[in-house]
Structure 1
Amino acid sequence: MYTFLMKLIEREFYLEKLKSVTGTPDIKVITGVRRSGKSKLMDAFIEWIKETDNNANIIHINYNLFEFDSIKTASALNSYVEERYLSKKNNFLLIDEVQLCSDFEKVINSFHASEKYDIYITGSNAFLLSSDLATLFTGRVFQVLVFPFSFYEYQKYFATSNIEEAFDSFVKEGGMAGSFVYKSPEEKYSYIKDVFNTLITRDIVQKYKIKNELLLNKLNDFMLDNISSEVSVRKIADTLTSNQEKTNDKTIGSYLNYLCNAYAFYKVRRYDIRGKKYLASQDKYYLADHSFHYAILGTKNMDYGRVYENMVCIELLRRGYEVYTGVLYKKEIDFVAIKQSEKIYIQVSDDISSPETFEREVSPLLSIKDAYPKVLIARTRHEKYLHEGISIINIADFLLNKE
């Protein structure tokens, strides 16, 4: 038997979330972009249950495996699970790729109503959307959103002690762990490109019954080429129309929502810092993993500043912040990150070694007069230091949470 050389690391951040809700009546839903490690997370959680609960009865169904092909209807799934229920045990029900069972929501709601099972499910990103969960399930849902590998996890996976070299590699390779087993950059990017194309052609097209797949692909290329840039639905529609692809605002707006619903992109709204209100104009969109950009569009003319901005945005979302792009006196602040009573103003840059660039980056932060922390993240390769109250942090240290 051939064993793949894929190395596994414990994803403590997500595992701790699952542990914290063990035994609650919620339906726990593990979601995230395709191939971000949802099934492996569930496997690790099952091992933790086995190690910590001697009274556990684990019912695990993985619809990726052919052995479960005969129970892909609601009634068959119901019979399979009920036959394995043990009344004097702690019954854990864990289902991978639940959307492959027809009418899955009916049987999951029935299991939840019976109050006999601690329920955990994963599903295809396009078929188990955040926006759908409240409609699909009658019980309370606890969502665990799984991102591709962070830089911390990447560095842990490759066990390298040279942080700056590891960061250089991470910038180019990204966090799609399935690509790590391939040796050459071409093979890695081929894998990543296939993942992204499957996300669009199989998941989104199938879910929303899209007829104009060419338009979706052209929109996708436009968005990949404009990560970290302000865009509007009208601007995109006008651009694509000028390129002989006739479309309109409504269609583009719908397609953008589909891409965000599938966790391919994350939309960041604009926030007026002085007026303390959200702005309805142009938004920014960030990729779930920056490697998609390279895999599909190539690595020529790399704009490291925009890639770094994308990396910081995803890291903030991973850490549970609400993220906005800030506007103050017509000056742009890359991110306003909010978590409960905490607020942080953040600028992201590639190289701040020249006085002109440094001044340009700190100027918007210095114009903010409230007492919340202000941070400039850049590739400094130095330890954190302060400039007029602004923390200057090396991006590798920020991503490792060492700042």
Structure 2
Amino acid sequence: MYYFQRQKYLDKLVESQGNGLVKIVTGGRRCGKSFLLFDIFHRYLTEHDVDENHIVELSLDDRTNRRLRNPDVLLDYIENRTPADGHTYYVVLDEVQLVDDFVEVLLSLMHKRHLDVYVSGSNSKFLSKDVVTEFRGRGDEIRVWPLSFKEYYEVVGGDRTTAWNDYYTFGGLPQVVQFESATKKIEYLINLYELTYLHDVIERNHLRNPEGLRQLTQILASAVGTSTNPKRICNTFQSVEGKTIISKTIKDYIGHLQDAFLIEEAMRYDVKGRKYIGTETKYYFTDIGLRAAALNYRQQEETHIMENIIYNELRSRGYRVDVGLVETWERDDQGKAVRKRLEVDFVVNQGPDRVYLQSAFRMPTSEKENQEQRPLLGINDSFRKMIVVGDNIMRKINDKGIVTMGLLDFLLDTKSISSLFEK
């Protein structure tokens, strides 16, 4: 059985110890939140001289803990387990959304200074962003992502190309890695997508058109890396499915999928105009295995999968990520000036720093290389520029200041972006 350390998330938990806030561990279903708290963080606490009696852990979806879903009973139980004795008690509550008025319960616990509170949840109520919003600065959110390729490869090992083929096919949900056969992996992912993710979204939002939600998710999965908007999706429904769904419904459904951490939105950003463009946007799946499951494994194109994985990698490293739009003027065959709108795959932001990044599956010729460089060369500011290419190449930088590196080196080097900020 593979054991994943999830070190960067443990580091965040450790850093947040005793900060007076409720630590809210969020993320998609089966991405490893409960294991992070009940196994990895628990082990850390005991190894750093925290007595077992000072760790109160409750899985509130456990039938034996059903009575504790009553808020007053839960508060009484915790109070009895955590007498003030001069030491900190660590209270860890999983599936806390099963408790009535659970937000009030957590706010009550915050008043007890000898308690350090950590919560996670995985059903539809907790998957939304509402919980963090309700705390209004009193909650510290720690977002957990599926395994990055680096986390995956450090444990699985072996040939890098073989590991990559498995990763881009089945994604990074920790349980998937435990299955040996492709059949078991696919079966698990499809069941998780259908019976858990979609079911949660439909149940929480009382959707009356579950088939419409399913078809929308398929359309988004099929169009990963393509700019779109609700109106265009409506037209797709009309032309492909022969059905009419209004733009507002499409927008609402997309919001539900985002709240469930199944997809994320990358806004289009006018690099020269320094403003966001709201007419179109891109959507990426938070786990590439779930994206494949939404399509029933019928559409596996490595170019779009590579772009999606790079997006997830950037987000899991904590960057804000937009899609860049660059307007340039070029001469046509008659020598006439023509306005061109070129796209930069990712505008990677961290505070005041920025990197422009292109995802290129292959650059076999100088013509292709020039094509990938054109949007980057149309940007006049001083921020660094990078091309990540699917080929296995040595890292290089050309006379125009553009860094090029291979995909696997990029994914395995956690400083592949941050090092550019230091230049």
Say yes or no: TM over 0.5.
yes
Q: Which residue in 2 is equivalent to 1:111?
A: 109
Q: Is the CA contact (8 Å cut-off) linking 2:2 and 2:156 kept in structure 1?
A: no
Q: Which amino acid aligns with 1:339?
A: Q
Q: Is the CA contact (8 Å cut-off) linking 1:112 and 1:139 kept in structure 2?
A: no
* TM-score, with structure 1 as normaliser: 0.94
Q: Which residue in 1 is equivalent to 2:390?
A: 379
Q: Which residue in 2 is equivalent to 1:140?
A: 138
Separation in structure 2 between the aligned mates of residue 400 and residue 125 of structure 1, nearest angstrom: 32
Secondary structure in 1 matching 2:117: strand
Q: Which residue in 2 is equivalent to 1:3?
A: none
Cα RMSD, aligned residues only: 1.7
Q: Which residue in 2 is equivalent to 1:50?
A: 46
Give 1:351's match in structure 2, choosing from 343, 362, 378: 362
Q: Which amino acid aligns with 1:240?
A: F
Q: Is the CA contact (8 Å cut-off) linking 2:24 and 2:132 kept in structure 1?
A: no
Q: Which residue in 1 is equivalent to 2:275?
A: 277
Q: Which residue in 2 is equivalent to 1:400?
A: 412
Q: Which amino acid aligns with 1:279?
A: I
Q: Which residue in 1 is equivalent to 2:11?
A: 16
- Inter-CA distance 134–168: structure 2 relative to 1 (3 Å threshold): closer
Deviation by residue 1:313-370 (Cα, 9 ceiling, x = unmatched): 0111011111000001110000000001220000001111133322211111122122
Q: Is the CA contact (8 Å cut-off) linking 1:73 and 1:104 kept in structure 2?
A: no
Q: How many pairs are equivalent?
A: 397
Q: Which residue in 1 is equivalent to 2:165?
A: 168
Deviation by residue 1:251-281 (Cα, 9 ceiling, x = unmatched): 1100000001111000000000001111111
Q: Is the CA contact (8 Å cut-off) linking 2:56 and 2:81 kept in structure 1?
A: yes
* TM-score, with structure 2 as normaliser: 0.90
Deviates more, 1:237-246 or 1:13-22: 237-246
Deviates more, 1:341-350 or 1:242-251: 242-251
Separation in structure 2 between the aligned mates of residue 337 and residue 364 of structure 1, nearest angstrom: 15
Q: Is the CA contact (8 Å cut-off) linking 1:109 and 1:139 kept in structure 2?
A: no
Write the mapping of 1:32-181 to structure 2, written as runs, cut at 5 A.
32-43=27-38, 44-54=40-50, 57-88=54-85, 89-124=87-122, 126-129=124-127, 131-137=129-135, 140-160=138-158, 162-181=159-178
Q: Which amino acid aligns with 1:230?
A: S
Unaligned 5+ runs, structure 1: 1-5
Q: Which residue in 2 is equivalent to 1:238?
A: 235
Separation in structure 1 between the aligned mates of residue 30 and residue 50 of structure 2, nearest angstrom: 32
Give 1:320's match in structure 2, choosing from 318, 321, 326: 318
Deviates more, 1:125-134 or 1:80-89: 125-134
Secondary structure in 2 matching 1:86: coil
Q: Is the CA contact (8 Å cut-off) linking 1:348 and 1:378 kept in structure 2?
A: yes
Deviates more, 1:136-145 or 1:390-399: 136-145
Unaligned 5+ runs, structure 2: 328-340, 417-423
Give 2:256's match in structure 1, choosing from 254, 258, 261: 258
Deviation by residue 1:120-177 (Cα, 9 ceiling, x = unmatched): 00012531256313443366111011110000111022133x3233222212121011
- Which runs of structure 1 show a deviation greater than 6 angstroms over 4 or more consecutive aligned residues? none
Q: Which amino acid aligns with 1:179?
A: V
